[in-house]
């Protein structure tokens, strides 16, 4: 299953008038990061960055002056995000902004059935506890030393770690059957599967130990539970069947 953990930064809080200025995304395949990412800064046509938003992400109008418009990056954005389940923290905020941008260029909105919000997931798992991205990183001992400001790609990378913990932890990467070719876009290599050993390991018990155990079990009577695990019936039961 392909998933994109993503985040956006915007010029302000109202999607009807404010604009997306940064998108970051991290690809997961069966909950395992593939190393593929998406990151772009976007020039907000006719809109300035609100000072309160600048305090959060530090992205200035001057920095965005030479960046592409959303219409110019829409195809590559859709190519990376299409067909995947989309994971975001407080997803309604990001989805509203992305849908507003898509609407402006005549594209259909994102299917809400593809969106997973990690904020209610965290609140269900840890009732009454703080559920910000920083708080969750602290809870799961995820390093946030690079995060002095919000940034779409960095926050996506941090959220990917948080999401994996919320759905069961890093042991999700320890599956015994991993498809590395044919099952994901751009994958290479062959399927790796774990099955029975071609040659069984030698028994750890000696023949004398096995004989001693059988002799002991025979003293316990035909109702002894051990007869369920031996390859022959209890002596009393065998005699009854013969008679």
Helix (H, G, I), strand (E, B) or coil at 101: helix
**Positions marked active-site:** 150
Please give the Cα distance from 57 to 73 (Å, whole number).
Answer: 21
Q: Which ranges in the chain belong to alpha helices (H)?
A: 51-57, 61-64, 70-81, 91-104, 118-125, 133-139, 152-166, 207-218, 235-242
- Rounded Cα gap, residues 229 and 21, in angstroms: 67
Cα–Cα dist 141/11, whole Å: 31
Tokens 């305090």 -> residue: 55
């Amino acid at each position: 299953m392909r998933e994109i953990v993503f985040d956006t930064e915007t010029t302000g809080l109202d999607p009807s008038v404010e604009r997306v200025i940064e998108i970051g995304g991290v690809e997961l395949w069966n909950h395992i990061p593939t190393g593929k990412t998406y990151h772009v800064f976007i020039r907000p046509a006719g809109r300035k960055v609100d000072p309160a938003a600048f305090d959060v992400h530090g992205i200035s109008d001057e920095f965005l002056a030479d960046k592409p418009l959303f219409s110019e990056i829409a195809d590559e954005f859709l190519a990376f995000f299409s067909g995947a389940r989309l994971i975001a923290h407080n997803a309604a905020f990001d989805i509203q902004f992305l849908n507003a941008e898509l609407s402006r260029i005549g594209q259909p909105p994102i299917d809400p059935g593809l969106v997973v919000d990690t904020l209610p997931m965290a609140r269900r798992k840890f009732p009454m506890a703080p559920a910000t991205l920083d708080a969750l990183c602290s809870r799961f001992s995820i390093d946030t030393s690079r995060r002095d400001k919000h940034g779409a790609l960095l926050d996506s990378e941090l959220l990917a770690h948080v999401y994996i913990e919320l759905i069961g932890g890093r042991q999700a990467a320890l599956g015994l059957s991993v498809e590395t070719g044919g099952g994901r876009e751009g994958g290479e290599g062959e399927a790796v599967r774990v099955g029975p050993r071609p040659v069984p390991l030698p028994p750890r018990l000696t023949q004398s130990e096995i004989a001693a155990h059988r002799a002991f079990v025979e003293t316990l009577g035909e109702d002894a539970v051990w007869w369920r695990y031996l390859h022959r019936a209890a002596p009393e039961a065998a005699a009854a069947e013969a008679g």
